[in-house]
Amino acid sequence: MRIPSGKVDQYIYFVAVDSVDLKTKKTGLTGFTVLRERNGLNRSFYTTPTIVELDSVNCPGLYRLLVDEDTSIAAASDAEEYVVHINVAGMAPVIRVIELFRRDTTSGRTQLVDANGRVDVSAIAGTAQTARDIGASVLLSSGTGTGQVSLTAGVVAANATQIAGAAVNTATAQLGVNVISAAGTAWNSGAITSNTFAAGALTAAKFAANALDAVWSTTTRLLSAGTNIVLAKGTGVTGFNDLDAPGVRTAVGMASANLDTQLAGISTKTANLPPDPADASDIVAAFGTVNANVGTVNGTVNAIKAKTDNIPAAPAAVGDIPTANANADALLDRAAGVEAGMTLRQASRLWSAALIGKANGLGTGTAIFRDTNDTKDRINASVDQDGNRLAVILDPS
């Protein structure tokens, strides 16, 4: 059996016979071990040997082994021998020898042909070839002969006669190019600003004849229409209408009537004033009444202030006033509310245990009183034969 170097899809076949009589065909065998060695090197067991029984009825004892481990020969070899030792309990061991060979055209070189009959060429006439030598990236030869172009430092010097299939205008020696960017910046990528043009770049000589006249005719039309213009009156611009009477009143803040009408209204109102408003006695009387009223208000305010002065600064809001439960908790948990180190809540727990809680050991040296929920010892008292408490451990928690 010969297998090309590197192939891992080839099978070898063997017959399994009984290890005792050496003739009875063995069927249904599994758990094979396969020891391999190539050219005196890499002796090792197959990690996962693939052995299949072909047909236990029609050809009992016939198996095949997939040769898929360590099948590549050394770089300097053209062929190497490969041996396998196949064994399993109850079967006489099988030894198969295989030749691994290099598919060469010359010693040390391999000619690989794919499924389409194509050959990978690594050298021509002894010269190594690369993808740039053969294929889509062939190197160009500089020159003026057939198939050559003039190259200098990688730059092609060429006389263009067509661009994108269209003939160049040779009569005027012009080259039509659609430029999509300048200095790496795409055209039409932003608005034109004053920084776009160098100082003095735009002059009258740069424009075609009558181009500026067309611009001015449009400008004149807009100015004549009287729109988009804000100028002070009297600056030499004609064609503006003067303000009418309502416009003047609006400008000076008298939109309701003319000035003479408004002055007449003021005169009517002043006619209703007392004949002698400057009389001192009238003024004094008026202020006396005002002072009396102010005094009454002051007295009322002072009376209210006297009461509000007694309100404490806190609570400042209804939410700050303690609730009934808050007051009750404050009383029950007041420090030293019963005596030093004991609150009213703690004392109540101990009283309840002593009065209504379970008790045990009363006839012994230790009397225990439980809390009313029977979850812990509230009072642990050491007593004498007369029941006198000698030492007491309290748990009011």
The CATH number that applies at residue 26 is 2.60.40
Instruction: Output the 3-class SS for the chain.
Output: CEEECCCCCEEEEEECEECCCCCCECCCCCCCEEEEEECCEEEEECCCCCEEEEECCCEEEEEEEEECCCCCCCCCCCEEEEEEEEECCCECCEEEEEEEECCEEECCEECCECCCCCECCCEECCEECCCCCCCCCCCCCECCCCCCEEEECCEEECCCCEECCEECECCCCECCCCCCEECCEECCCCCCCHHHCCCCCCCHHHCCCCHHHHHHHHHHHHHHCCCCCCCCCCCCCCCCCCCCHHHHHHHHCCCCCCHHHHHHHHHHHHCCCCCCCCCHHHHHHHHHHHHHHHHHHHHHHHHHHHHHCCCCCCCCCHHHCCCHHHHHHHHHCCCCCCECCECHHHHHHHHHHHHHCCEECCCCCEEEEECCCCCCEEEEEEECCCCCEEEEEECCC
What pLDDT does residue 205 have? 78
Kindly state whether residue 224 falls inside one of the protein's structural domains. Answer: no
Final residue belonging to a domain, choices 81, 106, 131: 106
Query: Domain residues for 365?
Result: 331-394
What pLDDT does residue 361 have? 86
Query: Do the Cβ atoms of 54 and 39 come closer than 8 Å?
Result: no
What pLDDT does residue 321 have? 78
For 330-389, the pLDDT digits (tens) are 888 898 888 898 999 999 999 999 999 999 988 888 999 999 999 999 999 998 888 888
pLDDT averaged per 10 residues, the chain (length 397): 94 97 96 96 95 96 97 94 97 97 67 72 72 62 80 77 68 53 62 73 78 67 57 57 72 70 72 61 63 77 84 64 87 88 92 91 88 93 86 92
What pLDDT does residue 70 have? 95
Q: How far apart are CA 240 and CA 244, in angstroms?
A: 12
What pLDDT does residue 5 have? 94
Kindly state whether residue 346 falls inside one of the protein's structural domains. Answer: yes
Tokens of 47: 């990690």
Kindly state whether residue 378 falls inside one of the protein's structural domains. Answer: yes
Kindly state whether residue 206 falls inside one of the protein's structural domains. Answer: no
Kindly state whether residue 64 falls inside one of the protein's structural domains. Answer: yes
Tokens of 380: 């642990």
What pLDDT does residue 134 have? 62
For 234-254, the pLDDT digits (tens) are 555 555 566 677 777 777 776
Kindly state whether residue 235 falls inside one of the protein's structural domains. Answer: no
Q: Are strands 41-45 and 181-182 parallel, antiparallel or unpaired?
A: unpaired
Kindly state whether residue 269 falls inside one of the protein's structural domains. Answer: no
Final residue belonging to a domain, choices 89, 106, 123: 106
Final residue belonging to a domain, choices 75, 106, 137: 106
pTM: 0.33
What pLDDT does residue 103 have? 81
* Residue 249: CB atoms within 10 Å: 17
Domain count across the chain: 2
What pLDDT does residue 189 have? 62
Report which of 50, 59, 49, 46 is spatially closest to residue 16, judged by C-alpha positions.
59
- Say which amino acid occupies 162: Q
What pLDDT does residue 308 have? 79
Kindly state whether residue 201 falls inside one of the protein's structural domains. Answer: no
What pLDDT does residue 262 have? 74
